[in-house]
Structure 1
């Protein structure tokens, strides 16, 4: 299947990581990058096409596929949904070293970074990041706009709501539910359900007052 030339939204650190993934996965050079930073240098070797607001004009000019390479969950989801509404295709991106089970699914605009794992029947939500070395075990499901940071592990059957951030090297016990907008701190060990909007940290993880 022919891989599309993507319009990239975001020229920061995650944008550079996505650019490397595209090269490793054999995508053609991106069409260009949009970024709101007034002093943004753009991405190496990629045309800088202006601010994020140009995505509608570029669609009208023929741009057909895009990826939101921004780390902030709510912003990434919002822009991804806006791109879909404009008629852009948002293919799921997968590094060649990622392990994705045949029964696993990667949502629109999601990305599985190097050495990440999505196990049997796992579902990574739209506009979500399964970052370097992170594991989404069998039957685990994330809502849209989540970020599972490097080295984090979600046990079998874990359920994340929308826009959840799971910090670096955090672990979540199998069968646990995490509500919308929750934050799991770096290195936390989550052994019970987490309410929406909560921030938990520590071993075992507890909600901050």
Structure 2
């Protein structure tokens, strides 16, 4: 049987490096990576043990915790749901330097990276990322699979839909709503509502249809 804090991670790229170090800081022991990279190759000392097709076998062998370290929102969410269906526990990883309100509600498989701040009564869906130094103010709702990039800021009562990418340094005014799968570009300022499946850039951010 695996140890209580052993963890398999899906991915072996740049985001996986971040998650390996986050997991260690949060008290977990990454013992294997699931990725198409050659078996036996390593990332920060963690070996690739096969691609994600080996997940059912690993679960049968007693490895019960996994985390998806993929930057693409839809893929991270889809693989996370599949692993949870197999039976894996999908822990939420919170860096010790992050601040998370005790009244916030966090789902499964979420990454909360260094110096992130999550304030009162926030709700964050499964497999989201709250990246380095991002700020989520009171009563915000972040949908499943969404990604708040480094140093992005959401004012109070902002809603991010499922699988939204909220870019580096982006800002949302209080009460703003950003629809599912929309991309807000780096430094964009959201004022009001942005529909789903858009790309929004600029100050204020102007939406246009995704190509």
Report TM bin, short chain.
over 0.9
* 1:68 pairs with 2:47: no
Partner of 1:44: 44
Distance 2:46 2:40 in 1: 12
Unaligned runs of 5+ in 1: none
> How many pairs align?
207
Q: Could you tell me whether the CA contact under 8 Å between 1:55 and 1:83 is conserved in 2?
A: yes
Aligned pairs for 1:1-209 within 5 A: 4-27=5-28, 29-37=29-37, 41-208=41-208
C-alpha distance after superposition, 1:72-107 (max 9, x if no partner): 000000000001100000111100000000101221
* CA 158–53 in structure 1, closer or farther in 2 if over 3 Å, else same: same
More strand by share: 2
SS where residue 102 of structure 1 aligns?
A: coil
C-alpha distance after superposition, 1:25-74 (max 9, x if no partner): 222x2121111245994322112101121112211221100000110000
C-alpha distance after superposition, 1:94-134 (max 9, x if no partner): 00000000101221000100000110001121000000000
Query: Considering only aligned residues, what root-mean-square deviation do their CA atoms show, in Å?
Result: 1.6
Distance 2:7 2:207 in 1: 40
TM-score (norm 2): 0.93
Q: Which runs of 4+ in 1 moved over 6 A?
A: none
Distance 1:189 1:3 in 2: 43
Q: Could you tell me whether the CA contact under 8 Å between 2:124 and 2:141 is conserved in 1?
A: yes
TM-score (norm 1): 0.94
Distance 2:180 2:42 in 1: 32
Distance 2:207 2:180 in 1: 15
SS where residue 47 of structure 1 aligns?
A: strand
